Amino acid sequence: MLRIDIISVKPDLIKSPFEGSIVKRAIDKNYFEIYFHDLKDYSNYKRKQVDDYQFGGGSGMVLMIEPIKNCIDFLCKQRNYDEIIYMTPDAKILDQKTSNRLSTLENLIILCGHYKGVDQRVRDQLITMEISIGDYVLSGGELPAAVLCDSLARLVPGAIGDSTSALTDSFQDNLLAPPVYTRPANFENLKVPSVLLSGNKKEIENWKENKSIERTKQIRPGIIK
């Protein structure tokens, strides 16, 4: 069972991706638990303030360390966390290897950044790992957190009906997935490759592997080992 606690100033922004699809199935089947924590509930201030101006000047508000520390302390008193992750564009980019490792753990905290980011002392003292989902900037860490959770949920054993499905995803063996087809076998004279209809398992496997290699060389040559 993988438990994820998400800390955010806008927890409502991330609830909907977990209300459908594989993630919901994983939650319903108790393979995966997800909890949302509103940072404002951990503020020391009357108006639930959680951010402030930057010291030294500069545009954009910065999330303060106090509410984040309060929330993380509250959670860490209840259980041990394997990783406390901060979603930020200035970090290593998420890859399948990282998702595979994280999906085998038990308890994760994900802190979503907002505005200009968080006080550096949070990153230095409270966070154990930082993850970016790509070289582009989003307005908060909520969508990146949802992306990370989705990629983990599909790897938790039992979450996907067909357990080989996650293992044949793109990137699992440093290759992109091969093309896939379904009915009809002939659509307006666009035909499904005949090998897939042959019933010859070995030939089909070879064909898929060759297509994967071809596709990877064409689109992402850098990921082939």
Residues forming contacts to ligand ADE in the complex (CB under 6 A) are: 87-89, 113, 132-134, 136-138, 141, 144
What's the one-letter identity of residue 223?
Answer: I
Residue with tokens 């106090």, as numbered in its chain:
66
Residue 8, both tokens: 């955010």
Q: How far is the CB of 89 from ligand ADE (least distance, A)?
A: 4
Question: Which residue, 134 or 157, has its beta carbon nearer to ligand ADE?
Answer: 134
Residue 82, both tokens: 């394997």
Question: Which residue, 90 or 209, has its beta carbon nearer to ligand ADE?
Answer: 90
Sorted by sequence, the CB contacts under 8 Å of residue 28 that are 6+ apart come out as none
Question: Which residue, 88 or 151, has its beta carbon nearer to ligand ADE?
Answer: 88
Residue with tokens 């303030």, as numbered in its chain:
49
Q: How far is the CB of 30 from ligand ADE (least distance, A)?
A: 28
Q: How far is the CB of 118 from ligand ADE (least distance, A)?
A: 11
Q: How far is the CB of 88 from ligand ADE (least distance, A)?
A: 5
Instruction: Report the b/e string of 153-189 with b at 16+ CB within 10 A.
Output: bbbbeebbeeeeebeebbbeeebbbbeeeeeeeeeee
Q: How far is the CB of 80 from ligand ADE (least distance, A)?
A: 25
Question: Which residue, 79 or 92, has its beta carbon nearer to ligand ADE?
Answer: 92
What's the Cα-to-Cα distance from 186 to each of 179, 181, 189, 196, 197, rounded to whole Å? 16, 11, 6, 13, 11
Q: How far is the CB of 145 from ligand ADE (least distance, A)?
A: 8
Question: Which residue, 65 or 91, has its beta carbon nearer to ligand ADE?
Answer: 91
| 140: DSSP letter | B
What's the one-letter identity of residue 191?
Answer: K
What's the one-letter identity of residue 39?
Answer: L
Question: Which residue, 89 or 178, has its beta carbon nearer to ligand ADE?
Answer: 89
Residue with tokens 């909907």, as numbered in its chain:
16
Cis before 184? omega within 30:
yes
